[in-house]
Amino acid sequence: MNLAAPPHRTHTDNSDDEPYRVISVESAETPEGCAGRDWFVYRIMQGTNGITGYRRGNRESVRGDAETIVVALNERREWKKNKMTPKDRRKTAAAARAATAVAAVTAVEPATAVAAVEPAA
């Protein structure tokens, strides 16, 4: 019996870069506890991640609802990609403070700035 841990697999799949997309919309049996006969199952994929959902309606309306979900999921992914980390915010704030300090020094009259730099006698 081999009890050794399996080798570490590196993540070479770029599935995180893929957007969500509707894979299929198919007629389905009525889910347990639900009424009606006009049920569809939709499948959404993003790389290896999958979402399966059920909706009532006609094929076109269910596909439209699934596409709306896909748009929202992709917008959320883009927002997270573009979101600044706390470290990025600190760098931006430090750069803004430095720019403000430079602007304050250049706003002082040249004679006053020189007098402030000269050593006291």
Torsion sign over Cα 18, 21, 24, 29: positive
Q: Which of 3-7, 47-51, 58-62 has the lowest mean pLDDT?
A: 3-7
State the average pLDDT over residues 31-45. Answer: 95
Render pLDDT for 90-109 as a digit per residue (tens, 0 to 9): 777 777 777 776 665 555 55
Domain boundaries, the chain: 15-82, 86-117
End-to-end CA distance of the chain: 86
The band of 7, judged by pLDDT with boundaries at 50, 70 and 90, is low
User: Could you tell me the pTM of the whole model?
Assistant: 0.56
What tokens appear for 20 in the block?
């969500």
pLDDT digits (tens, 9 = 90+) for 52-85: 999 999 999 999 999 999 999 999 888 766 666 6
CATH 3.30.720, domain 15-82, yes or no: yes
**74 CB burial (10 A radius; 0-12, 13-18, 19+):** middle
- Provide the 8-state DSSP code for 27: E
| Structure-block tokens of residue 105 | 């020094």
pLDDT tens digits, residue range 9-31? 544 555 667 899 999 999 999 99
